[in-house]
Chain A
């Protein structure tokens, strides 16, 4: 995608991915060894030309112990299924995960999940199956794709010995495209204005979406889902092919 700049690809632990996810998923299925991953890839991906209104999405959000996908771990997972028409917040799911690294103070301040809260929680490995079931066959929405993709990749790598990739739509990257490309972006750049913030809350504000308390996995997933519906309503249409948005 044109606005996926080099910088992002550098932090992406994965290879450059083809936009033909249908094909990619078939190949990954052949390579996968873990039965859970095989089942996941079998569900496949939609054809790139499928209209957005035909797609089942899942908005996904992780809270983590830090920002390094190799050293840090996931502490909570929130996910919300949706379509272009409706966000099924009533079907939201969340998992509290016991990371393999110590919770550090600075991240606890961010997500408010403490040692005592995760004392009863299980290791990510236990949640792989239900998580993959919830994501299978869906297009996954995230705000700031590199985090979720890398953390899930490394989370699985350290537990199963193999990573995972699947089609995702990044609402942050979409927003960057809207604000920094085209006339608006050009205007901003020649006037020397700073780049607009792409934080979830700031993006939402641009669409008059309400302010939510951040860093709660399900709330962030809902917030991301709402932002996506607003972005599509304002900038795309129900018939836009999903291949134009995913990466």
Chain B
């Protein structure tokens, strides 16, 4: 066959995976190539753009990048790119830029697919590139070290370096240099069992000594951090990471029964992190646009599935999903402020419900609200905050957190109010509860500040605890509300047996299980003025307060875990099967063991509801 595109053909003949092609396929390919010239520094592919062709570098040089801007690959003459995107959903995964004046050959997608399907060598070549990416990638399917079962103790490389609090800052710096460590633990005195009083890091020296222009002969106690965030040695690496992310610290002292075993740094965790599902959290903050954030939501689903497969418990998964959700909100708010300019008055963005309780799963509504500074003037500031709320809520919806069907979102002006209005709302709800207010309380009283003036969230929480304790009638109403949703009586092979003898073929495990359990525990927690929002932590506090009959709190903790894990596993199964995850559970999809334990868990919940009714008889309706 005589072809006119001789130069193209000759070029293809020199490079894999084309040179291995049989002549007819090679000729067909050469005849379909189009060409483009890109000056050095011009983008060739932008993230998320539709892809129409396999790209081949004819001359020049091209770099491809990860979404976070980190270099992924550098290609020269004969290098191909965009194959991963073509193999996936035909959009650009790795953006590309010409770093020298470059001539690019475009092999159209139809031609690529023909080659991929008809030529094994070609298919292998483009796929090997893809698996190599997966191997080096952060979301490797097979994580070699099981993060969920790795305890922080394993990360401790050396004993912590300690220094007495009366040493000078210069001595501290010298010791750090000598021991080549980036942080020191500060103990009360020189004695062997001296109490831990603080921690000094490179950052503290920089921020509190050098930047503040203090004398080197200051006592180290002046620059140390005293609010220590520590972790117990038997806790998981995973939990260490959550702590660091949450408190924005880079070092964690590891304790064993209150005594320091050593220190782990963020670098230690990052070594694990490279294989870790939670990588997504740190990458959220590197995304530059809503579209880029949106693309992470599929990774969120695979992260969820992976955690389930790694036998994480419901608390870990809930916390990880909540941290992720929180990070999405924080990044969206940063992007919103970039776009809209700085806020005219300070504000606090609230997460409500399951996310505030650290119990968020993969399928979740966005429940959120805005607390504004008391100087908020609707005439001047309304447009800004309405736009901010819209940006964040739309962004969350794109990232997979569907709009709240009950319109509990910051876009609703009722839930976008100055602090004093919120205080008045809560006072009204607690002092004069009605059906709607109780419903609101169930959502808003699990609140957490995620961005801005988060201390306002703490203030509101304190107010709730104070006022609820002073209003026993409110608690009685909440108790009544908490038992309105009951668990089913039991499970049979293929149906759910309801209390009235009716049979259903599926069960909404959130409505009938996790939600009533959280409601019930909230009432007990509020009754003892517990500050925690997480259901498990609330249960621990309730247990410690001794308000439940002996053993019941532990039973509830077990029931919580069983019900939550069935829900989580069902969602993970749906995702793996390529279905949309929901809260429906069909008895025939459960193992006999799951059915049995779930039935027992429901009995515990049912009994706890009866106890609540007994504890709060009557109650104003």
Contact = CB atoms under 8 A, between A and B. Distances in A.
B58 A89 contact: no
Contacts of B7: 210, 212-213, 219, 222
A226 B8 contact: no
Contacts of A179: none
B124 interface: no
Interface stretch (A16-24, A67-75, A145-153, A229-237): A229-237
Contacts of A212: 7
Interface residues of B, number: 24
B213 interface: no
Contact of B34 (A89, A93, A233, A234): A89
A56 interface: no
Contacts of A225: 35
Interface in B12-46: 31-39, 42
A138 to B, nearest CB: 17
Contact of B103 (A85, A210, A216): A210
Contacts of A234: 39, 101
Given A208-B60, A209-B59, A210-B103, A90 B4 contact: no
Given A86-B106, A88-B34, A216-B6, A208 B39 contact: no
B5 interface: yes
Interface in A62-90: 78, 85-90
Nearest to B7: A212
A225 B7 CA distance: 14
Contacts of B58: 210
Nearest to A92: B4
Contacts of B33: 89-90
Contacts of B32: 90
Nearest to B32: A90
* Secondary structure of the A contact surface, majority rule: mixed
Contacts of B5: 89-90, 92, 218, 222
B226 to A, nearest CB: 60
> How large, as a class, is the contact surface on chain A?
20 to 34
Given A213-B7, A216-B6, A222-B7, A87 B100 contact: no
A87 B105 CA distance: 9
A207 interface: yes
Contacts of A230: 37, 39, 101
A94 B37 CA distance: 23
A92 B5 CA distance: 8
B559 to A, nearest CB: 63
Contacts, number: 69
A229 B101 CA distance: 11
A240 B60 CA distance: 25
A229 B36 contact: yes
B277 to A, nearest CB: 40
B105 to A, nearest CB: 9
B34 A210 contact: no
Given A207-B101, A208-B100, A212-B7, A233 B39 contact: yes
Contacts of A219: 4, 6-7
A78 B5 CA distance: 11
Contacts of B38: 233
A212 B58 CA distance: 12
Contacts of B60: 208
A226 B103 CA distance: 8
A20 B468 CA distance: 84
Interface string A190-230: 00000000000000000111101100101100100110011
A92 B6 CA distance: 12
A214 to B, nearest CB: 10
Nearest to B101: A208
Contacts of B8: 89
A128 to B, nearest CB: 20
Contacts of B6: 213, 216, 218-219
B39 A87 contact: no
B12 to A, nearest CB: 12
Interface in B280-326: none
Contacts of B35: 86-87, 89, 222, 225-226
Contacts of A210: 7, 11, 58-59, 103
Nearest to B2: A94
Interface string B478-493: 0000000000000000
Given A92-B4, A208-B100, A86 B39 contact: no
Interface string A135-174: 0000000000000000000000000000000000000000
A234 B6 CA distance: 27
Contacts of B101: 207-208, 230, 233-234
B103 A94 contact: no
Most buried by A among B5, B7, B8, B37: B37
A89 to B, nearest CB: 5
Nearest to A87: B35
Interface string B427-467: 00000000000000000000000000000000000000000
Interface in B115-168: none
A169 B15 CA distance: 34
A90 B34 contact: yes
A86 B103 contact: no
Given A208-B59, A230-B101, A86 B34 contact: yes
Nearest to A229: B37
Q: Which 7 A-B pairs have the closest CB atoms?
A: A229-B37, A218-B4, A87-B35, A233-B39, A210-B59, A90-B32, A212-B7
Given A209-B59, A210-B59, A213-B7, 17 more contacts: A86-B106, A87-B35, A87-B37, A89-B33, A90-B31, A209-B103, A210-B7, A212-B7, A218-B4, A218-B5, A219-B7, A222-B35, A226-B35, A230-B37, A230-B39, A233-B38, A233-B101
11 contacts: A78-B4, A86-B35, A87-B34, A87-B37, A89-B35, A92-B5, A93-B4, A210-B7, A210-B59, A219-B4, A219-B6
Interface of B: 4-8, 11, 31-39, 42, 58-60, 100-101, 103, 106, 108
